[in-house]
Structure 1
Amino acid sequence: MPRTWWKTPVALLMTAVMLFPLYWMLNVSLTRRDSIRRGDLLPFDFTLDHYRAAFGDQLPYLGTSLLIGIGTAALTLAIAAPASFALAKLSVPGRGVLGFALIVAQMIPAVVMALGFYSIYNAVGLLDTIPGLILADSTIAVPFAALLLTAFMAGLPRELLQAAQLDGASQWRTFRSVVLPVSRNALITAALFAFLWAWSDFIFASTLNREGGALRPVTMGIYDYIGAQNQEWGPMTATAVIASVPAAVLLVAAQRYIAAGVTAGAVKD
């Protein structure tokens, strides 16, 4: 058996390289403004002023991002879950074409969709609104969620559904009372990815909000610190650190559900 002692140091080195941008972001956020340009590896001139400024400036934007993320996750599940059940277990005409369309929908660049949304939103008055951003972000999340949930629901035993129908349950009751509970891991995974996509969105937020709009997410709030002649690196990185915390907490809390949900439907009996 070949010796593999070298794999651990290589893995640690690769991990350190990948995590270094996160560490540098934290380091800069804790360094005084006049000392940032020195590029110290540790925040010797420690300060929390950047975080005070970030919380003072960005708290409304964090609330907006939270509303958009939760709304996107809810809308994504409301559309993708019943659609996936229909594609997986019901006799839907053109099911193969619909599945292919879901794959193609994920290939469309977001910037192309943003331009189309802008024209529509400008006509119907949805620019600079939270529902408008939720709807736009859902167009990215729904195809992925539908494919993930369809793969899982296709692997559910047909006997389970037939037993519910023999007890007099309708298709809708079977979906609500049987399919949704056993699809918990896949649903949590789809909802989490939808939330993270909405939380990190910049293209839709920058396109579908008017200049200076009040209902901007935190990604646009970070952009406020980038000027033509000057960049506020301290508050910018502090805001980025704050915005990273909810995503990190959610990923850690839902880790076991994600592992089970992503592999759902990969193996069938």
Structure 2
Amino acid sequence: MKRAPGRGPLSTAVGIVLLALMLFPVYWMVNASLQPAGNTLRGGWFPHPPDFGGYAVALREQGGNLVTSLLVSLGSVALSLGLAAPAAHALARFSLRGTRLVLLGVLVTQMVPGIVVANALYGAYADLGLLNSYLGLVLADSTSGVPFAIVVLHAFMRTIPGEIIDAARVDGAGRLRVFRSVVLPLSTNALVTAAVFTFLFSWGDFLFALTLTTTPSVRPVTLGVYQYLGAHTDQWNAVMATSVLASLPAVLLLAVSQRFVTSGATEGALR
């Protein structure tokens, strides 16, 4: 067997340069968050000594917004998986007419511009009293999470061997028991993948937050940072500290679930 050609020094150097370019904004964000209050352009390349005053200000003024984003994101994940998992199982396992048409419709919903959905939801929410509410933001963010989760879960569930499900049915398990005790455990990687991306969609949402919230009582951190810039442009350390805190949940989630995400994204295509 021929060995794969090794990477030369030039390829390694190019990779390091590209990685440095991509990570530079992250470095500058962390560096600026540890500088004293004022113009960060006057700060050094390394904070010496580091000043954590920006984090104190960020936690005091943006802590509630971080909690709001966390609650909305978790709620969106729960609702999206609760709707998408049985829908994907039905589309993958049952012989239904129009399955391909339904999947096409799910994909088409992903192409609708977010501003169109936000404007439509604003009028409906005003009539239903869902403006400035956690439930309203959860439902809005789920409009992106549910279609994506259906596509991911369907691609995986259709690869589950039918013999496993038939064996469970022979042992006396009903359809609901098969779904809960057989299909869902086998789809762990796909479920985690859908949950991670749904969480990231909701955590990084700005459009729905800007359109559907008008008071500080329910304000995600993305909208908090946006309004924070206009009010505290002289405290860039606090702004950057808020950005660092807002990035941590996504970074930690991806670090913990990387193995599941990689498997969930590839198993459906490889089986």
Q: TM-score, normalised by structure 2?
A: 0.94
Aligned to 2:72: 68
How far is the alpha carbon of 1:216 from its aligned partner? 0.8
Q: Is 1:156 aligned to residue 160 of structure 2?
A: yes
Gaps of 5+ in 2: none
The answer (yes or no) to whether the contact 2:37–2:234 under 8 Å persists in 1 is no
Matched, 1:213 2:216: yes
- Residue type of the alignment partner of 1:249: L
- Aligned pair partner of 2:57 in 53, 70, 73: 53
Q: Which moved more, 1:127-136 or 1:224-233?
A: 224-233
Match of 2:244 among 238, 241, 244: 241
Please say if 1:34 is aligned against 2:48.
Answer: no
Aligned match for 1:185, one of 169, 186, 189:
189
| Identical counterparts, % of pairs | 45
Q: Which runs of 5+ in 1 are unaligned?
A: none
Instruction: Say if 1:118 and 1:207, in contact at 8 Å, map to a contact too.
Output: yes
- How far residue 232 of structure 1 moved from its aligned partner, in angstroms, is 3.6
Structure 2 match to 1:170: 174
Who is 2:107 aligned against?
A: 103
Q: 1:194-213, aligned counterparts within 5 Å? A: 194-210=198-214, 212-213=215-216
Q: Which amino acid aligns with 1:260?
A: S
Opposite residue 108 of structure 1, the aligned amino acid is V
4+ residue runs of structure 1 moved beyond 3 angstroms?
Answer: 228-232
Q: TM-score, normalised by structure 1?
A: 0.95
In the alignment, which residue of structure 2 is the partner of 1:5? 9
Paired residues of 1:32 and 1:45 also in contact (CA < 8 A): no
Q: CA deviation at 1:220?
A: 1.4
Q: Is the 8 A contact 2:84 2:147 kept in 1?
A: yes
CA RMSD of aligned residues (A): 1.6
Kept after mapping to 2: 8 A contact 1:121/1:127: yes
Query: 1:92 deviation in Å?
Result: 2.1
Which segment is superposed worse, 163-172 or 79-88?
163-172
The residue number in structure 2 matching 1:258 is 261
Answer yes or no: is the 8 Å Cα contact 2:35–2:237 preserved in 1. yes
Q: What's the offset of the Cα at 1:3?
A: 6.6
> Counterpart of 2:147?
143
- The correspondence for 1:14, drawn from 12, 18, 41, is 18
Note the C-alpha offset of 1:66. Answer: 0.9
Deviation of the 1:108 alpha carbon: 1.0
Q: How many residues align?
A: 267
